[in-house]
């Protein structure tokens, strides 16, 4: 019987190495079942899972809902525009309504940071058994994306058997709009937990110097860091320079919808300097893997020639791995002793 210490999954900053390994071992098992053609297993039969998305989503929402269906859970989908929010109901009351209906897990995406945390605190105060799973909150955290990125990289470097230790001392280059990226923040917690050294590459407006201290101990709102020693974070302003040393690259979407002020002189000048192209990759002598959480802006942060033709472009693997990763998270939350 698997045991799991977290009632809610809101961030990766409180994950221990055992937590990551529990997720990845289950992911391997679910992935084998999917690859063997098993469409459904009865693991969460009788469970009710509710997805509450206040922001657009293709990958996260659909793969969570598919994961829940593959585990035979009942799935409810909340749509803000046709809900009683339009009659003045609060978000907390909405969440409590789903808890009162017997929802076991609320999967929540919101444009404001820490909304899933606030909801989890209220539900706990009401002694609700319902778990909250953060599907992306503001600029804060996107734990399931961080986990699927981590898993995809580990599988690339250890395809036969899953060995998270392969990331130790690897140089992972993260390019682009870090300041607006909850994915990057989750990547930083996850990758440094296994000793990867991160190079953040982009202009100062998108990567302020303080990001070098991002994983300083203890993490925000925690008394301790469950990881005793983390990899480092450095910043480079030059893609031509930093790409030479990378063992893997994660490209981030330029989040124009979150840019409240003019952070770039022009999109063209950004692309001229930081768009990942085959020419940039050829400055590195290794066959490095390329990841992107999606959705992609072709020709702005990543060239179509990489997305469509580069053999080690892992974007589709990330999407495929998202389903068993999310099956593992839903299953583990069901094992938390309430
Ligand atoms: N990566 C990601 O969160 O994609 P969606 O916005 O499509 O869910």
Domain ranges, ordered by start, for the chain: 17-141+319-334, 143-318
Domains 17-141+319-334 and 143-318 in one fold: yes
Q: Which fold is adopted by the domain 143-318?
A: Rossmann fold (3.40.50)
Q: Which residues, in sequence order, are CB contacts of 217 under 8 Å at separation 6+?
A: 224, 225, 230
Residue-level pLDDT at 259: 73
* Residue nearest atom 5 in ligand 1 by C-alpha distance: 57
Quick one: which atom of ligand 1 is closest to the CA of 62?
Answer: 8
Overall pTM surpassing 0.85 (yes/no): yes
- Give the dihedral sign, CA 261/210/272/279: negative
Question: How many angstroms separate the alpha carbon of residue 63 from the centre of ligand 1?
Answer: 10
Give the phi and the psi of residue 161 in degrees, each rounded to 5. Answer: -130, 145
Tokens of 73: 């859970």
Q: How far is CA 167 from CA 76, 154, 170, 242, 260, in A?
A: 38, 7, 5, 18, 35
Residue-level pLDDT at 260: 65
CATH 3.40.50.1370 for the 17-141+319-334 domain, yes or no: yes
Quick one: which atom of ligand 1 is closest to the CA of 294?
Answer: 1
How many CA atoms lie less than 13 Å away from 245 in the CB half-sphere?
17
**Residues whose beta carbon lies within 6 Å of some atom of ligand 1:** 57-60, 136, 145, 293-295
Residue-level pLDDT at 256: 79
- Distance spanning both ends of the chain, measured CA to CA: 15
Counting as low any pLDDT under 70, the low residues of the chain are: 1-2, 260, 338
Question: How many angstroms separate the alpha carbon of residue 125 from the centre of ligand 1?
Answer: 30
Residue-level pLDDT at 1: 53
* Residue nearest atom 4 in ligand 1 by C-alpha distance: 59
Give the ranges where the chain is alpha helix by DSSP (H): 17-35, 59-70, 91-100, 115-125, 143-157, 182-193, 239-242, 267-274, 278-281, 304-309, 315-334
Place of tokens 């990766």: 12
């Amino acid at each position: 019987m698997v045991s799991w210490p977290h009632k809610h999954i809101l961030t990766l900053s409180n994950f221990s190495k055992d937590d990551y390994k529990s997720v990845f071992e289950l992911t391997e098992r679910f992935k084998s079942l999917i690859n063997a053609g098993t469409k459904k297993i009865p693991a969460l039969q009788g469970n009710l899972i509710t997805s509450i998305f206040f922001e657009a989503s293709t990958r996260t929402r659909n793969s969570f809902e598919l994961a829940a269906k593959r585990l035979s859970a009942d799935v409810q989908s909340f749509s803000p525009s046709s809900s009683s929010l339009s009659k003045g109901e609060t978000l907390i009351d909405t969440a409590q309504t789903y808890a009162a209906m017997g929802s076991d897990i609320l999967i929540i995406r919101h444009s404001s940071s820490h909304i899933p945390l606030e909801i989890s605190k209220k539900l706990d105060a009401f002694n609700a058994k319902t778990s909250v799973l953060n599907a992306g909150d503001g600029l804060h955290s996107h734990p399931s994306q961080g986990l699927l990125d981590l898993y995809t990289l580990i599988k690339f470097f250890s395809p036969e058997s899953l060995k998270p230790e392969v990331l130790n001392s690897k140089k992972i280059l993260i390019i682009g709009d870090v300041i607006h990226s909850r994915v990057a923040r989750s990547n930083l917690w996850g990758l440094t937990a296994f000793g990867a050294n991160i190079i953040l590459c982009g202009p100062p407006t998108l990567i302020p110097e303080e990001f070098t201290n991002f994983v300083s101990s203890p993490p925000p709102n925690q008394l301790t860091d469950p990881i005793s020693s983390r990899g480092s974070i450095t910043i480079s302003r030059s893609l031509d320079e930093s790409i030479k040393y990378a063992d893997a690259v994660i490209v981030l979407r330029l989040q124009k919808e979150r840019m409240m002020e003019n952070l770039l002189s022009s999109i063209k000048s950004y692309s001229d300097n930081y768009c990942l192209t085959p020419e940039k990759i050829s400055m590195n002598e290794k066959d490095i893997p390329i990841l992107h959480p999606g959705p992609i802006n072709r020709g702005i942060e990543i060239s179509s020639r990489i997305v469509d033709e580069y053999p080690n472009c892992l974007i589709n693997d990330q999407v495929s791995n998202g389903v068993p990763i999310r099956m593992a998270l839903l299953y583990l939350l069901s094992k938390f002793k309430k």
